[in-house]
Amino acid sequence: MELTPLQKARYEYNPKLPGMLRHGISEICVKEGAQTSSAADQEKIQALFPNTYGKKEITFEKGSNTSTPKKQVVGVILSGGQAPGGHNVVCGLYDALKATDKENVLYGFKGGPSGLLEDDYIIFDDAYIDQYRNTGGFDIIGSGRTKLETQEQFAVAAEVCKKHGITAIVIIGGDDSNTNAAVLAEYFAAQGTGVQVIGCPKTIDGDLKNEDIEASFGFDTATKTYSELIGNIERDANSAKKYWHFIKVMGRSASHVALECALETQPNICLISEEVSAKKMSLSQIADQIADSVSARAEKGMNFGVAIIPEGVVEFVPEFSALIAEINELLAGSKADAFNALSNWKEKYAFIEKGLSSEAMAVFAILPETIQQQLFLERDPHGNVQVSLIESEKLFSALVKDKLEQRKAAGTYHGKFNALHHFFGYEGRCAFPSNFDADYCYSLGYNAFMLIQYGYNGYLSKVSNLSKPAEEWVAGGMPITKMMNMERRHGEDKPVIKKALVELDGKPFKYFEAHRAQWAEETSYIYPGAIQYYGPASVCDITTRTLALEKGE
């Protein structure tokens, strides 16, 4: 494979570690903190995790290493969707493991958790690892979405670990993957296998976050990548002066990506799903809000603009959620076959009209026909509407167009409205990691091995103080159970890591809220440009606006 000059240079980049991890393995000691309890439902979580609940938070400091020396054979798994920096977690883990003892071994289980169950692996060496340093993607071993959650799976995992003499498993994933890591850690402890499990916080969505985890890895790179593209579109809009661009960005359950991109680029409109939910906004109200901006800008001769739409926003509109629930019921069981047997959309529409309540039908009727049909595309494995297939950017531009035509008929709007549509998702998941993500991920992997070396189980690798230079970052670990609560999943109460949504009283949203009226009417665009890897730290190592605002910077 021929390398570009940038690829060659990135392979040679030396990620920055937190100060206390730079002393050499023999000079890193543990400082224990207070015992922990779960985020909620303490008694239930404790009952489910009797061997791993209530452990102490720890931080690493300079001092004599008091861990018991032993050969470590570690397995690593990439789980879930890709996020920039995942390769560096593996590289940091490998480097710490080899720096401790050249005889230590790192297994990479292929294709996600299924690789562990199927005993499909690679044993890493220097030559293989060096091909992936500071690169995007998860192609070093691949990823997958198999969940480790049944006793049968745990038993197979234990057998595979025993076969290879594996002493620890590192699971790199999001909230569900790290929930699975905690359950696997409890199983290994209860069975006395001696195998430790350590998690690493990954997701570009930014929703694996709390008082301990300041940022999930990949969020920095993905939002900078999207913001570069959004800034380019803003500049094009401001040049052509004749298009409204509706841009959907990733973020199914939370709007952290949309909010960060708005803070970086200052578009005219950015919807925040959590606000839509809190205010119980209707589709009509949202369309009016956008139409107000279009109209106000048209009054100033500006028939162009940019609107950012979170991927999952329609799920937060109460009337739309009710419509989805009715459609799921309408097509339950054999009724789906009857619907699919109809030969054309006219017949299907009549079937829908007969089966929905008048309230749901009122919502359905205002949707553009393309969106109506998307609601009846292939169902998910549970027989439900696949909301991710709904082109919400096209939905809102169509609703806004209708609003503007009504206003034009009433003589209150005289502008022109031409909409263009974009979806930025996969473009950001495997981007070359920013210096921040390259450093953060390498530190998470290096730190994960320190947790293994000191015998911790059911812990998440934790690096904090992230808005400061890497030298001032603090490395340590926290019990995964600390982040858990009980939620209803598929008819059962399950222990899960609590998703972090955008906080409407948080500083990032408050800053956005204070400025959005101005951005809606004026052209206040920021063009952030491409991610920079070389040059002054003030250019290359900057963190997200979200993190800076949260830390008061």
Active site residues: 205
Return the amino acid letter for 15. P
63 and 27 Cβ atoms separated by less than 8 Å: yes
DSSP character string of 13-45: --PPPPGGGSS-GGGEEEEEEEE---SS-HHHH
CA dist 490 and 5 (Å) reads 50
Burial class (CB in 10 A: 0-12, 13-18, 19+), 20: buried
Rg (the chain; Cα; Å):
25
85 and 218 Cβ atoms separated by less than 8 Å: yes
Report residue 71: phi and psi, to 5°.
-70, 130
294 and 417 Cβ atoms separated by less than 8 Å: yes
- Counting Cα atoms < 13 Å in the Cβ hemisphere of 392 gives 27
Q: What is the DSSP letter of 502?
A: P
222 and 428 Cβ atoms separated by less than 8 Å: yes
3-state secondary structure string, 508-540? HHHHHHHHHHHHHHCCCCCCCCCCCCCCCHHHH
With b for 16 or more beta-carbon neighbours within 10 A and e for fewer, the 88-123 pattern comes to bbbbbbbbbbbebeeebbbbbbbbbbbbbbeeebee
CA dist 116 and 114 (Å) reads 5
Contacts of 510 (CB under 8 A, 6+ apart): none
With b for 16 or more beta-carbon neighbours within 10 A and e for fewer, the 192-217 pattern comes to ebebbbbbbbbbbbbbbbeebbbbbb
CB atoms within 10 A of CB 369: 10
| Region class of 251: left (phi > 0), else alpha (psi between -120 and 50), else beta | left
Q: Kindly state the helix (H) or strand (E) to which residue 105 belongs, with its residue range.
A: strand 105-109
